[in-house]
Chain A
Amino acid sequence: MIVLNGSPRDGTPSLGVLLDELGLGSDARGVAVAVDGEVVPRSEWDRWALVDGARVEVVDAIQGG
């Protein structure tokens, strides 16, 4: 299990697989990812392993400021 944006999610996929499921490739603009409070560089999305219970935050550009 992982926690994606505050919601539990079955399975412990790699970050690359998770982002694929969300329809996000490494070229997704305005998107960034943090795992357990640490930003994962875009270049490492594909090979980043997630451990059981990992807290994954995936953020997107919105209007603001």
Chain B
Amino acid sequence: MPSREAEPRLAGLEIAGRRLASRLLLGTGGFQSFELLAAAIGASGTAVVTVALRRIDPAGRGSLIGVLDAAGVDVLPNTAGCHTARDAVLTARLAREAFATDWIKLEVIGDERTLLPDAVELLAAAEELVDDGFVVLPYTNDDPILARRLEDVGCAAVMPLGSPIGSGMGICNPYNITLICDRAGVPVILDAGIGTASDAALAIELGCDGVLCASAISRARDPAAMARAVALGVEAGELARAAGRIERRSHAVASTPEKGRPVL
């Protein structure tokens, strides 16, 4: 049996010159306690987790940052809830002060019902933030043209959705995700829509360089177990992609030779 080391591996995930220890990024939203969050971080093997910014509650300051420090993960702040480029840019600048990082997961949402990105505002915000020195990771539609435009303005990665945030519908348009991956010159991270481990495997098989997963893990009955499952899904997808899947055919191809079959 060949050793793991002998198996072909893809190049790891590197964003803006920084090598990440895992292809799986974890969203921290939805965990019912810091204990469950910490357990899921450990089980996921992730190196990067997302956080958001909201008006402070002086009476209820938690120790989220302490939990993340103890877990040894880097913080990727997001601009969740922003509807305009102006709000997103200001939120990114707040995040830079809050976390002393110029990395930003850029979200500019079109409406509350779908939480789909507003392409026009997203591109404007991305351009302004890149010009301001940010490492911009935009949450985007599964639109190959928009992904290319985001790359053209200098985004360090593109993060197309598989399906709407929190929907758990998986990858609704694998054809578009493949198109984005085929043409991208920056890492592609599948963001939003992951429902379970096999969705993460599919994302990597399609050509994504990483997966960002929140609700599928945080809202699972057993978040730590799902974190491990999704991490293994990512790894399985990586191995499968490197191994090279067979072509799809519309007819059967016998795996047992016909020659030598006895006449009975």
Contact = CB atoms under 8 A, between A and B. Distances in A.
Interface string A32-62: 1110010111100000000000000111111
Contact of B64 (A6, A33, A63): A63
Contacts of B62: 62
B78 A37 contact: no
Contact of B56 (A39, A58, A63, A64): A58
Contact of A5 (B56, B64, B98): B56
Interface residues of B, number: 36
A34 B53 CA distance: 12
Interface string B71-101: 0000111101000000000100111111100
A49 B94 CA distance: 19
Contacts of A42: 97
A39 B58 contact: no
Contacts of A32: 53, 94-98
Contacts of A24: 56, 58
- Most interface-central of B37, B58, B98 (chain A CB within 10 A): B98
B164 to A, nearest CB: 14
Contacts of A31: 56, 98
B57 interface: yes
Contacts, number: 100
B51 interface: yes
Contact of B90 (A22, A29, A39, A41): A39
B132 to A, nearest CB: 11
B140 interface: no
Contacts of A59: 53-56, 94, 98
Nearest to A58: B56
B94 A39 contact: yes
A38 to B, nearest CB: 8
Contacts of B94: 32-34, 39, 57, 59
B53 A62 contact: yes
Nearest to B81: A64
Given A41-B97, A57-B55, A30 B90 contact: no
Contacts of A11: none
Contacts of B78: 64-65
Nearest to B69: A29
Nearest to B60: A60
Interface stretch (B26-34, B174-182, B224-232, B247-255): B26-34
A41 B76 CA distance: 19
